[in-house]
Each structure stands twice: as C-alpha cells, then as structure tokens.
Amino acid sequence: MSGIGAMVDGHGVLVCCGAGGVGKTTTAAALGVAAALRGRVACVVTVDPARRLADSLGESQVKDDPVEITGPWPGQLFAVMLDAKTTFDALVERYSSNASQAQRILDNRIYANLASVLSGTQEYMATEKLFELHEEGSYDLVVVDTPPTRHALDFLDAPHRLESFLDNRIFRALIAPTGSYLRAAHAASQLLVRSIARVTGAEIVDDTIAFFQAFQGMEKGFRDRAARVDALLSEDTTGFVLVAAPRADAIGDASWFAAELSRRQQRIAALIVNRVHPDFGPPVRDLLAKSNGGRAWSALTENLTELGQVARREQASYAELVAALAPAPTVGVPLFDSDVHDVEGLLGVVRHLLD
C-alpha cells in the first residue's frame, strides 16, 4: 500500500493547502477519486469561485449541496461548491430561538452584506461546511480545498476569530441594550452613534443595531459550534496535505505553511508536488547512445540529458522540505500534456498518487 493510499484509507478529513496555481483543486478532487476507487464514500469541498473543481469532475451542477459524481469506482464520490451565504443562513436558522428571530436576521440589510463580503466569512463557512458534512456521518472522507496558502490560515483561525468576535465588548453591548454595561457607556455610545449617523445616515445605524440585537441569545450556539469545529481540525483522523509545484515561490509558501502547521501542532499527512519533469535516468540515455542511430538519436539523447538535469534541479529545490516533513510521504505528479479537466484526467493523476 502506498503512502497516499494509506493516507486516504486512514483519514476522515483531509485539508489541501498550497499557493495559488499549483494544482491544489485538482489534487483535492484526485484524492476524492482515490478514496472512491478504494471503496470509500468521499466528498470534496471547494471554496474556489472559479469552479475549477466542477470543471475537473466534468459536472456543471456542483453546488452547495453534495452532488454525486459518477465514475468507474466501487465507492461513491460527491462534490460541493461552497456558497457562504447559504451556509450562513442555515446556521442562523439552526441557532435562532424561533422562526421569527431567524427571519429578522435574514431580512436585515446589514446581514445580507455581512454574509457576502465580510473578510473571513468564506473561510469560516468552509469550516462550517466541513463540520456539517463530517457530522452528517454519510461520508468516510471529506476533502477540503482551501484558498491559496496565506489565506488558508484564515480557514484554520476561523473558529478562534468567531469566539474573539463574540467576546468583543462592543458586540456584547449591542446584543444586550438593556444591560448594565451599555448603560454605563450610554453617553459615549450615543455620541458615537450620532457621529456615524451623520456620515452614513440614521437608517444604516438602525439596521446595524437591529442586526446585532437580533442575535441576542444565539451566541452560545455559535461559540459551542466553533469549539467543536476547532476540535475536529485537531483530531488524529484529520490531516493536512501540502500541495506545491517545483518553483521557488511555491516551495517557499509550502515551507512557510509547514512551519505554521507545526507551530499549531497540526498533522501534515503528505506533500504532493505537481507538474514535475520526468527523469528517465541513465539507462534510457545509455541505451540511446549505444544504438548508433545517427544525428537524430544523438539530439534525442542530448534532450533527455537536459531533461534529467531539469528534473534533478527540481528535486533538489524541495529536498529540504521533504526531509523536514518526514516520515510524511512525498509524491511527485508529472507535468501532463494538457490540463486536467475531466474524470479521465483525474484518474491519470490518481495513478501517480497511488503508484
């Protein structure tokens, strides 16, 4: 059993991290296919707004609810394209004390903007979708495709950031307008509100206060959920897969992220390096050199020699990272003739991952 095969079999959650443009989304999809080929029920989640996951799976209907992808595997494969607003709406409905409270929040204009554009919302909702799918119990493995490396930390920090927000004094004052804390700060609060109203208009201020007050009583549910999400990301059956390319910038990002994961005591399950040049090795070059095929054979031998040099330079570029991550397995996926854009292409990637 290969290292990647054991990883796919032994985990309940795999989180793919890496710089943009290194094939992270394709790798996440390939890991899902690998699990399905090994008889597991897998679900792949992406936060990629460009729909590369749907394209690579050949499925135009991938959306916020799991869609099954059919293929030549004994298991099952599902895919989800994260819709942060839909996921946020579901959380509001889950933790509201009644339908009326939920509707007040969902109809609030501040909420509509908050759920769509607030920094970190997408990453937090990705952790929520992961937790929802894991807790549902229908999947043996959930694979998550995160944003590019530097923003992937927002994914890891999302539960803590929510707890910090819930503990913020301003938030607590606004959700408890009759509390002693707000009365003590009443004069300063009113002055601040009047100042903001002059700039934005009283209607925006009223919507903002109404939005926060509508959340009264819901914070415990959000706080408990955030703690459970954080615990899931730290479980032994959750692993982080670093995805890179044999370029200095991509390897640098992967090394930085590996250090951050180590500092947070998160487990790195594997390193996958995409688009590496093949090295056919001395036996092939020697065979061609001895074949006495004339100038064409000589040129081909020279090309193979140069290709081998490129391959060895690439291997050297990430050798230090490989050593640092040991005993986590490392797999190099070769540069293909064309981009992976369908299930057949993904099967080609999987063959290299599992070989």
Q: Is the pLDDT of residue 64 over 70?
A: yes
What is the per-residue pLDDT for 257?
Answer: 87
44 vs 342, more confident: 44
**Six token digits for residue 317:** 């570029």
The residue segments making up the domain with residue 18 are 3-354
Q: Is the pLDDT of residue 156 over 80?
A: no
Who's near 39: CB < 8 A, 6+ residues apart?
A: 73, 74, 75
Q: Is the pLDDT of residue 150 over 60?
A: no
- Provide, rounded to the nearest whole percent, the portion of the chain with pLDDT above 90: 28
C-alpha triplet 130, 225, 242: angle, nearest 5°: 35
Mean model confidence pLDDT for the chain = 78
What is the per-residue pLDDT for 251?
Answer: 92
Task: Give the chain's count of helices (H) and strands (E).
Answer: 18, 8
Q: Which residues of 34-43 are buried (b: 16+ CB within 10 A; e: fewer)?
A: bbbbbebbbb
Contact by Cβ (8 Å): 16, 143: yes
Residues 206-222 pLDDT 10s: 666 666 666 666 667 77
Residues 266-320 pLDDT 10s: 889 999 999 998 877 665 656 655 655 556 666 777 777 788 888 889 999 999 9
Here the CATH number for the domain that contains residue 245 is: 3.40.50.300
Q: What is the tally of structural domains in the chain?
A: 1
Contact by Cβ (8 Å): 211, 105: yes
Contact by Cβ (8 Å): 79, 56: no
| Mean pLDDT for the stretch of residues 236-263 | 91
| Mean pLDDT for the stretch of residues 176-197 | 47
Q: Is the pLDDT of residue 183 over 90?
A: no
Residues 8-38 pLDDT 10s: 999 999 999 888 888 888 999 999 999 999 9
At 7, the pLDDT band (50, 70, 90 cuts) reads very high
